[in-house]
Structure 1
Amino acid sequence: MDDMVHRPDRFTSVVDGPSELAALRRRVRVMLAGVGEEHVVDALLVTDEIAGIAWLSTRQPFTLRLGWAGADTIRVDVTIAAEPPARGELGTSAQVLDEIATRSGMTPRRGETVLWADVPVAAPATPDGPALDAVHVTEPA
């Protein structure tokens, strides 16, 4: 039997509201199989905050991407069809990003904004069991 485990190194999910955060969290945990719990929790917190900012800024479905940005960093980013929210509008989300992410920002583009954050994580060890390739979040309309 092959002991190799397929762990995705990135994923993209279309998220249509807060009810889909549980599925999004499962995908983050699958991607970070073998990473220490404290790093997984940090990644989950940052992913939730970025997703929350995106939803509250537009109240429309958005695409969230998470991927390795080096051996010990993951990047969470979303593109929203809106101007960047003012930092004062971010409330506690800004504090979470400041405390956990090594870098974060909002990059305006024509008619849209990319919200992103880099989260430090330890390089994953080989997990004990099989990992899933994907967890369904939602189908785009």
Structure 2
Amino acid sequence: MARYTRILLAVDLSDESVQLSDRAVEIARQNQAQLSLIHVVEPLSFAYGGDVPMDLSTIQEQLDEHARAKLSTYAQQLDYPVDKKFVVTGNTETEIHRIASNEETDLIIVGSHGRHGLALLLGSTANGVLHGAPCDVLAVRVHKEKKEEEE
């Protein structure tokens, strides 16, 4: 079995991101690996197809700053030291690949919502990260937080 020395945990900072932390910490601890975190903020211009009749840079900076604060809080809640925290703006898969390459990461951990069929093929960030990744990728199944207990 491969020994991982540099792990990159990709989080979207949703409530489900907490479900990834236990698995990431477990693997990092077993391998005595460096654990880094990444959160990718998609540019506001992506949402509007690039044709935005106003300057969104101030709003984008606020979104980035908010993401940095949330990522710091997330890191503090982990029961493991975090080597580096990355908040980057761009395409999620591309930026995760770029940081993983730059940091010589040997394992990327992402969440997977367990979609099936076309949603899995077309819309999964985990699937996008897997293809073109410079190293191993672990997709951890995350479940929507339930308001009530269901049996």
Is the shorter-chain TM-score for this pair beyond 0.5, marking a shared fold?
no
More strand by share: 1
TM-score (norm 2): 0.29
TM-score, normalization by structure 1:
0.30
